[in-house]
Amino acid sequence: MSIEYTPGPLLEASRTTPTALWNDSADPDELSQSISFGGVGATCNPTIAYTCINQKKERWLPRIAELAEEMPEASESEIGWQVVRELSIDAAKLLEPIFEEHKGRNGRLSMQTDPRLARSAKALADQAEEFSKLAKNIIVKIPATATGIEAIEDATYRGVSVNVTVSFSVPQAITAGEAIERGLKRREAEGKDISTMGPVVTLMGGRLDDWIKIVAKRDELFIDPGHLEWCGVAALKRAYQEFQSRGLRARVLSAAFRNVMHWSELVGGDLVVSPPFKWQKLINDSDYQVEPRIDVPVAPEIMKTLLSIPEFVRAYEPDGMTPQEFESYGATRRTLRGFLQADADLDALVRDVIMPSPER
């Protein structure tokens, strides 16, 4: 594959540091442009998948109609998820040459398990295994809940490269990283290959920012609002340090961008950053000078503010939450509800195609 690269800070960082750039969308047009910035992978989730389909109605609505004919007994959800499969397979093809070059560590396209399966570890692991077989470079998202942690270990043991999602905190990241490690070690003990597996553990820094801002407003905290922009950055830096010190082989992944620091403050680390394309365009069009900052601590006055907020401390300290508390954490519930709504939105879009309103 011949790539016409676009000079800028993203390409420079990808060439001079171990920090990998992935695109936060499976949209083939955006992904192609991200690859020109040095991108070597892509992430997706139910919300992003629905947005991609909704924005390319001229392509996907006729395909939905065809699928309804091909699958006469399928539910709206089954048809919608088949579209997600096809969207993901198309995007995965763009990344196959990178996958081969990086021997499985990059060049991966993320698919997310159905959030409606979140209560069953077996159902999550089974779907993860099914999705992983759609293309050789698929990586599958499983949520960092207590049930999800069980599924993450099981899916890893089955040979699935997992991208941990619905994860906002250091304890979630560590627990998920350790589950992946157990799965890898079980495969190794049985002589099974792990050489091309490329697991990552997402920490959705921007969604942690969102949640702590809600908490600060709810609790009427008198603090510098600018300091709250650093919640996700602080948690990501701490998670990266913990992964390095504990020897966890999965890489940390920064997602849910809310500001450029979710990239710039992590450059230099052997990790993945996954900005939406609009953030990549903003960064690459700037005159920012690339500087490794992963080991630069967050300013003491900012950390003093953040550590005065108990809800942030729960997300920052490695033992701040138990796995049983992950699902009840505010950021987790908000995100899972959003993903469930995206599923419902996709069902409604399919419904409008296969059973249009008689009043229109």
* CA angle (155, 32, 79) in 5-degree steps: 50
Give the whole-angstrom CA distance, residue 21 versus residue 41. Answer: 7
Tokens of 164: 């941990």
With beta carbons less than 8 A apart as the criterion, state whether 146 and 323 touch: yes
- Rounded to an integer, what distance in angstroms lies between the CA atom of residue 259 and that of residue 205? 10
CB atoms closer than 10 angstroms to residue 283: 21
What does the pLDDT read at residue 52?
A: 87
pLDDT number for residue 360 = 65
Contact in structure between 330 and 214 (CB atoms under 8 Å): yes
pLDDT tens by residue, 85-128? 999 999 999 999 999 999 999 999 999 999 999 999 999 999 99
185: tokens are 């070690």
Structure tokens given for 40: 């070597």
Whole-number Cα distances in Å, 196 to 154, 160, 164, 182, 314? 18, 10, 18, 17, 34
Q: What count of other Cβ atoms lies within 10 Å of the Cβ of residue 195?
A: 6
**Strand extents, DSSP E, 223-267:** 251-255
pLDDT the model gives residue 55: 87
For the entire predicted model, the pTM comes to: 0.95
User: Which residues of the chain register pLDDT less than 50?
Assistant: none
Q: Residue 259: how many CB atoms within 10 A of its CB?
A: 16
The string of DSSP letters for 120-140 reads: -HHHHHHHHHHHHTSSTTEEE
Q: Which residues pair with 327 in a beta bridge?
A: none
| Farthest-apart Cα atoms in the chain, separation | 62
How does 134-157 read in b/e, with b if 16+ C-beta sit within 10 Å? bbebbbbbbbbbebbbbbbbbbbb
